[in-house]
């Protein structure tokens, strides 16, 4: 009883001492220890408070910086730790909560990242070779990604994370390659130029440099999308794998998201399976491989009635066949590939009108940043138009793009090509930078001079059926 009473008195004395202790008088030492253990310059502008049952501390208005600028700003940090390991100068965190963190990641012109610039060594007196805790929670976070190589900015807002079993194998090495955890995340919105993605939700997992969002659901292009994203940072060059399927997307919102003039209206399906290999010193576009497919039925064309333009030759002597080819390019590939081509202007200056596309397919295979048309065609009530060729997204050039009017056999009745750079393309022998109201293609004369035979070279044999 005497020993128990003495222990009780000692415990009470310890708690009284902690209650009377002004933890903020040690703020400078805490900042120094945090800076040495993380490699960043840590500053705490707000108050630090101790808590009991469980034991821990919280701090307000924290900032983590290095020579590249601020990496992380926190409105409040709350840590729960085990008490006894502190007496041995060991940190054993059981729970961590971040309130309204703002993370800024910057990719420099030399393809390095701002968070890689940490030259400070961890404090030798603290055992931090392995850190682990049970829970990590993030509330109302913001992530800003700035790419100085392209000048683009990506921002994610209202990020919430709930992950568990967090461990860092070795803080002296690459933290990203030694980080492991699992849990869930949701993000209210992602913005990149005109691209808008909302309600991003999914399971999140990290295991020795491999990060995954799986399964993933999003609101995009006015529709629901699902798929998965995996980032592999185990090697020097990071590899990102993206699988996405969006059903009943809105074509108008799709075109707005990629800063493309409204060409088509209606609903369709988008399927993307892409791999991005990020190599230092190379354009990210050069490391893109995969497939991209966009399909839709019973669509509206806002710039022209294709049937009327192709059948009423005398009323459409200035018809430009390449204008129809822009339908296949407009969309995810169109923001760059159509920047120098005033597609559809000819119709605003001549007849205009709206039309119908009964069946539409725009399917591309991408290798090292070069997109090849594998099945690009559309069918109206009476005609079929197809496209072949490549888009060099790295060098921003049209590589022998040919648009053709197709007969029932899949043979080309009329052809027109577009070559050259995206900024100054050449349509046939006429530059698209000139007025498209000039007589680029006189369908009536071309049709009269075209001689059909029983045999022909098949231009198109894809999924779009011939009109009835």
Model pLDDT, residue 130: 45
Among 309, 264, 326, residue whose Cα is nearest residue 441: 309
Q: How many Cβ atoms sit within 10 Å of the Cβ of residue 121?
A: 10
Phi, psi dihedral angles at 263 (to 5 degrees) = -115, -45
pTM over 0.75: yes
Length of the chain: 468
Among 105, 97, 123, residue whose Cα is nearest residue 35: 123
* CA–CA distance, 415 with 12 (Å, rounded to integer): 91
Asked whether the beta carbons of 38 and 128 are under 8 A apart, the reply is no
Residue ranges of the chain whose pLDDT lies below 70: 1-23, 83-91, 117-133, 169-176, 281, 312-321, 330-352, 429-455
Q: Which residue has the tokens 């998201």?
A: 257
Distant-in-sequence, close-in-space partners of 292: CB < 8 Å, separation ≥ 6 = 270, 271, 272, 274, 332, 333, 363, 364, 366, 371
Q: How far is CA 111 from the centre of its chain?
A: 18
Model pLDDT, residue 433: 28
Q: What's the count of helices (H) and strands (E) in the chain, helices before strands?
A: 10, 23
Model pLDDT, residue 436: 30
Phi, psi dihedral angles at 297 (to 5 degrees) = -125, 150
Among 208, 210, 212, 220, residue whose Cα is nearest residue 167: 208
Please give the biggest Cα pair distance in the chain: 115
Model pLDDT, residue 175: 65
Strand partners, 243: 228, 273
The shares of helix, strand and coil residues in the chain, as percent rounded to the nearest 5, are 20, 50, 30
Q: Which residue has the tokens 């190379």?
A: 282
Condensed to tens digits (0 to 9), the pLDDT of residues 390-448 reads 999 888 888 989 988 888 899 988 888 888 888 788 877 322 323 233 333 344 344 44
Alpha-carbon distances of 102 from 45, 75, 195, rounded to whole Å: 16, 9, 21
């Amino acid at each position: 009883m005497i020993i128990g009473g003495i222990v009780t008195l000692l415990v009470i004395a310890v708690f009284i001492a902690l209650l009377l202790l002004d933890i903020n008088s040690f703020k400078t030492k805490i900042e120094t220890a945090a800076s040495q253990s993380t490699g960043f310059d840590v500053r705490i502008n707000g108050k630090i408070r101790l808590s009991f049952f469980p034991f821990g501390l919280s701090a307000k208005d924290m900032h983590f910086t290095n020579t590249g600028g601020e990496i992380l700003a926190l409105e409040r940090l709350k840590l729960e730790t085990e008490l006894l390991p502190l007496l041995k100068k060991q940190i054993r965190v059981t729970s961590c909560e971040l309130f309204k963190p703002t993370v800024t990641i910057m990719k420099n012109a030399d393809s390095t990242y701002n968070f890689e610039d940490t030259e400070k060594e961890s404090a030798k007196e603290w055992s931090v070779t392995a850190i682990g805790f049970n829970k990590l929670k993030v509330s109302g976070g913001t992530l800003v990604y700035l790419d100085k190589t392209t000048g683009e900015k990506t921002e994610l807002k209202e990020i919430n994370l709930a992950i568990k079993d967090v461990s860092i194998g070795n803080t002296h090495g690459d933290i990203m390659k030694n980080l492991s955890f699992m849990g869930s995340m949701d993000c209210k919105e992602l913005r990149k130029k005109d691209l808008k993605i909302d309600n991003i939700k999914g399971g999140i997992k990290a295991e020795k440099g491999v990060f995954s969002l799986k399964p993933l659901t999003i609101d995009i292009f006015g529709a629901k999308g699902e798929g998965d994203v995996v980032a592999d940072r185990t090697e020097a060059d990071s590899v990102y794998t993206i699988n996405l399927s969006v059903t009943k997307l809105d074509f108008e919102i799709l075109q707005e998201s990629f800063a493309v003039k409204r060409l088509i209206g209606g609903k369709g399906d988008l399927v993307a399976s892409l791999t991005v290999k990020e190599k230092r010193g190379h354009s990210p576009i050069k490391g893109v491989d995969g497939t991209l497919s966009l399909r839709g039925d019973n669509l509206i064309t806002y710039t022209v009635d294709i049937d009327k333009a192709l059948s009423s030759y005398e009323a459409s002597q200035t018809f430009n066949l390449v204008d129809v080819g822009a339908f296949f390019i407009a969309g995810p590939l169109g923001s760059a590939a159509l920047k120098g081509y005033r597609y559809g202007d000819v119709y605003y200056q001549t007849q205009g009108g709206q039309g119908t596309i009964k069946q539409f397919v725009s399917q591309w295979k991408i290798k090292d940043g070069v997109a090849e048309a594998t099945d690009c065609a559309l069918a109206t009530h009476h005609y079929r138009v197809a496209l072949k060729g490549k888009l060099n997204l790295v060098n921003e050039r049209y590589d022998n793009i040919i648009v053709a009017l197709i007969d029932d056999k899949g043979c080309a009745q009329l052809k027109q090509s577009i070559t050259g750079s995206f900024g100054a393309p050449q349509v046939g022998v006429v530059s698209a930078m000139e007025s498209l109201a000039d007589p680029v293609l006189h369908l009536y004369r071309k049709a009269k001079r075209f001689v059909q035979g029983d045999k022909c070279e098949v231009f198109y044999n894809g999924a779009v059926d011939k009109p009835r």
